[in-house]
Amino acid sequence: MERVSAFDEPLKKLLGGPTAKVMADHLDLHTVGDLLHHYPRRYEERGRLTALTDLPLDEHVTVVAQVADARVLTFNGGRGKRLEVTLTDGHGRLQLVFFGHGVHKPHKELLPGRRAMFAGKVSVFNRKMQLAHPTYQLLDADPMDDAGATEAVDAFAGKLLPIYPACKQLDSWRIAKAVDAVLPSAREAVDPLPASLREGRGFTPLPEALLKIHRPATKADVAAARDRLKWDEAFVLQVALARRRYADAQLPAVARRPTPGGLLDAFDAKLPFTLTDGQRKVSGEIFDDLATEHPMHRLLQGEVGSGKTMVALRAMLAVVDAGGQAAMLAPTEVLAQQHHRSITEMMGELAEGGMLGGSDQGTKVVLLTGSMSTATRRQALLDLVTGEAGVVIGTHALIEDKVKFHDLGLVVVDEQHRFGVEQRDALRSKGKQPPHLLVMTATPIPRTVAMTVFGDLETSVLDQLPAGRSPIASHVVPAKDKPHFLSRAWKRVREEVENGHQAYVVCPRIGDDEDDPGKKGKKKTAEEEAATADKRPPLAVLEIAEQLAEGPLRGLRVEVLHGRMQPDDKDDVMRRFAAGDVDVLVATTVIEVGVNVPNATAMVIMDADRFGVSQLHQLRGRVGRGSAPGLCLLVTEAHEASPARARLGAVAATLDGFELSRIDLEQRREGDVLGQAQSGVRSSLRVLSVIDDEEVIAAARQEAVAVVAADPELEHLPELRTALDALLDKEREEYLDKG
pLDDT tops 50 at residue 179: yes
Note the pLDDT of residue 641.
Answer: 75
DSSP state at residue 525: P
Contact 603, 633 (CB under 8 A): yes
Give the pLDDT band (50/70/90) at residue 299.
Answer: confident
Which residues does residue 45 pair with via DSSP β-bridges, in sequence order?
A: 160
Mean pLDDT of 209-228: 92
Over residues 711-729, the pLDDT tens digits come to 999 989 988 888 888 776 6
pLDDT of 323 above 70: yes
Mean pLDDT of 353-366: 72
pLDDT at 220 over 60: yes
**Distance separating alpha carbons of residues 705 and 711, to the nearest angstrom:** 10
Residue 222 has pLDDT above 90, yes or no: yes
Q: List the beta bridge partners of residue 22.
A: none
Amino acid at 104: H
What pLDDT is attached to residue 157?
Answer: 37
Rounded to the nearest 10 degrees, the angle between the axes of helix 308-321 and helix 333-347 is 70
DSSP 162: E
Distance CA 150, CA 171 (A): 21
pLDDT single digits (tens) 459-502: 888 876 666 667 788 999 998 888 888 999 999 999 999 999 99
Q: What percent of the chain has a predicted confidence (pLDDT) above 90?
A: 29
Question: Model-level pTM?
Answer: 0.65
163: left (phi over 0), alpha (psi -120 to 50) or beta: beta
pLDDT at 288: 95
Q: In which band, very low, low, confident or very high, does the pLDDT at 414 lie, cut at 50, 70 and 90?
A: confident
The per-residue pLDDT for 147 is 53
Give the pLDDT of residue 725.
80
Mean pLDDT of the 211-220 span? 91
Contact 473, 632 (CB under 8 A): yes
Dump pLDDT digits (tens) for 598-646. 899 999 999 999 888 878 888 888 887 777 889 999 999 888 778 788 8
Does 560 have pLDDT greater than 70? yes
Q: Which of 214-228, 331-345, 433-447 has the lowest mean pLDDT?
A: 433-447
| Residue type (1 letter), 512 | D
Contact, 647 vs 605, CB < 8 A? no
pLDDT, average across residues 42-63: 70
Q: What's residue 628's pLDDT?
A: 85
- Residue 683 confidence (pLDDT) above 80: no
Long-range CB contacts (within 8 A, 24+) of 386-390 = 387/325, 388/353, 388/354, 388/364, 389/325, 389/363, 389/364, 389/365, 390/263, 390/316, 390/320, 390/324, 390/325, 390/326, 390/353, 390/363, 390/364, 390/365
- Banded pLDDT at 667 (limits 50, 70, 90): low
Half-sphere exposure of 476 (CA within 13 A, CB side): 21
Q: Is the pLDDT of residue 671 over 60?
A: no
- Residue-wise pLDDT tens digits, 312-321: 999 999 999 9
**Which stretch, 161-170, 290-299, 664-673, 719-728, has highest mean pLDDT?**
290-299
- Look over the chain and give the mean of its residue pLDDT values, rounded to a whole number: 81
- pLDDT on residue 153: 46
Which pLDDT belongs to residue 468?
64
Please report the pLDDT score of residue 676 as a whole number: 40
pLDDT band at residue 50 under the 50/70/90 scheme: low
> Across residues 206-216, what is the average pLDDT?
93
Q: What pLDDT score was predicted for residue 678? A: 41
In angstroms, the Cα distances linking 67 to 51, 71, 85, 684 are 14, 11, 7, 39
**What secondary structure letter does DSSP report for 164?**
-
According to the model, what pLDDT value does residue 250 have? 85
Question: Under DSSP, is residue 81 helix (H, G, I), strand (E, B) or coil?
Answer: strand
Whether the pLDDT of residue 450 is over 80: the answer is no
Higher pLDDT, 267 or 125: 267
User: In whole angstroms, what is the distance from residue 27 CA to residue 9 CA?
Assistant: 17
